[in-house]
Amino acid sequence: MEPSLVTSIGKIQLERPVMLASGILGISLDVFNRLYRSGAGAVVSKSLSTEPWDGYPNPTIFGINGGGWINAVGLSNPGAPNFAKMIEPNKDVPIIISLVGSIPEDFSTMVEQFKNSKVIAYELNLSCPHVAKVGLEVGDDPELVKKIVSTVKNSTNVPVIAKVGLGTTHYLNTVSAAIDSGIDAITAINTIRAIAIDVETQRPILSNKFGGLSGTPIKPIALRCVYEISSKYDIPIIGCGGISTWEDALEFILAGASAIQIGSAIGDNWIHVFNDINKGILQYMKRKGYSKIDEMIGLAKKS
């Protein structure tokens, strides 16, 4: 019998465990359809705010030696109301809406915009490292996290995911606060606060100075976080950070993730990366004798 790639993240069931991460190709329904047909199990929108944001001026993205990127786009987005109208025609694509804000009411207001849209979950961005008064500043405040999660959970019956990152306080405090407030799953991790400097101009390269480091350099850190969260809490986890191959994806599954997200790797091979990873996982399952994804989740923790 052919192994199955179906996986469950709490109440969310996906045909395939590989998703598009927030921030990459995340504002076009046409692109969402193409990614889904190319093997993505779900797509996560760019982080949306209550109103449109322009983001930062260029330069906003810088490639680093050895792979990876530092970006400070500034959460540019069309705003939740406009995006909700754009995805209303969606019939088939499993879409997860990423939301960013600074107070609980921001999030409940945005959730209301999507009541007529086909949405399988909301992902709360509690960890953007380069925009003031949202993201990490929210995630670093466990009491605010509790209020936001509780508010969103009371505003919708759709599953809610918290995306956590590495801020000034221990990220497990954020995870704990979200779980205490009824979160359905955790995405770990977001990009990591970083900087690049031009030695000729002797100035930071990005217009915002600081940005978020993504790609291959953060994979071991993200993997460690998934392992730690799954070892301490009984909560579904989505792994994110530096994943570009089927081997990377399996590492996160073995560490405790039920699914994974692809971000920076999209830039290299966005049409084929999802199917390539899916095929690699299937071949591995056949070779090892597994029939379902959940048979592999967390195996790295067993002695």
Determine if residue 125 is labeled as part of a ligand binding site.
Answer: yes
Residues 245 and 269 sit within 8 Å (Cβ to Cβ) = no
| 79 is a domain residue | yes
**CATH code, domain with 234:** 3.20.20.70
| 243 is a domain residue | yes
Q: Hey, how many other C-beta atoms are within 10 angstroms of the C-beta on 1?
A: 4
What is the token pair recorded at 302?
A: 């067993």
Determine if residue 241 is labeled as part of a ligand binding site.
Answer: yes
Determine if residue 77 is labeled as part of a ligand binding site.
Answer: no
User: For all residues of the chain together, what is the average pLDDT?
Assistant: 93
First CA to last CA distance, the chain: 29
Please report which confidence band the pLDDT of residue 140 belongs to, taking 50, 70 and 90 as the band edges. Answer: confident
The pLDDT tens digits for 99-127 are 999 999 999 999 999 998 999 999 999 98
Determine if residue 46 is labeled as part of a ligand binding site.
Answer: yes
Question: Strand order of the sheet with strand 61-63?
Answer: 61-63, 69-71, 210-214, 192-195
Catalytic residue among 40, 128, 161, 186: 128
| 203 is a domain residue | yes
| 2 is a domain residue | no
Q: Is the pLDDT of residue 172 over 90?
A: yes
| Beta strand segments in the chain, E | 7-9, 12-14, 18-20, 42-44, 61-63, 69-71, 95-99, 121-125, 160-164, 185-188, 192-195, 197-198, 203-204, 210-214, 237-240, 259-262
| 156 is a domain residue | yes
Determine if residue 275 is labeled as part of a ligand binding site.
Answer: no
Please report which confidence band the pLDDT of residue 267 belongs to, taking 50, 70 and 90 as the band edges. Answer: confident
d(CA 83, CA 70): 26
* 239 beta partners: 188, 260
The pLDDT tens digits for 21-55 are 998 887 789 999 999 999 999 999 999 999 999 98
Backbone angles phi, psi at 105, to 5 degrees: -65, -30
Determine if residue 163 is labeled as part of a ligand binding site.
Answer: yes
- Number of independent structural domains in the chain: 1
| 139 is a domain residue | yes
Mind giving me the DSSP string for 14-26? ESSSEEEPTTSS-
Determine if residue 191 is labeled as part of a ligand binding site.
Answer: yes
Compute CA distances 148 → 99, 155, 166, 233, whole Å.
Answer: 11, 11, 19, 20
The pLDDT tens digits for 50-100 are 999 998 999 999 999 888 999 999 889 999 999 999 999 999 999 999 999
| 121 is a domain residue | yes
Catalytic (active site) residue 128: yes
Please report which confidence band the pLDDT of residue 131 belongs to, taking 50, 70 and 90 as the band edges. Answer: confident
The pLDDT tens digits for 194-249 are 999 999 999 999 999 999 999 999 999 999 999 999 999 999 999 999 999 999 99
d(CA 202, CA 188): 34
Q: What's the number of CA atoms in the CB half-sphere (13 Å) around residue 155?
A: 21
Q: Is the pLDDT of residue 133 over 70?
A: no
Domain enclosing residue 181, as ranges: 7-301
| 1 is a domain residue | no
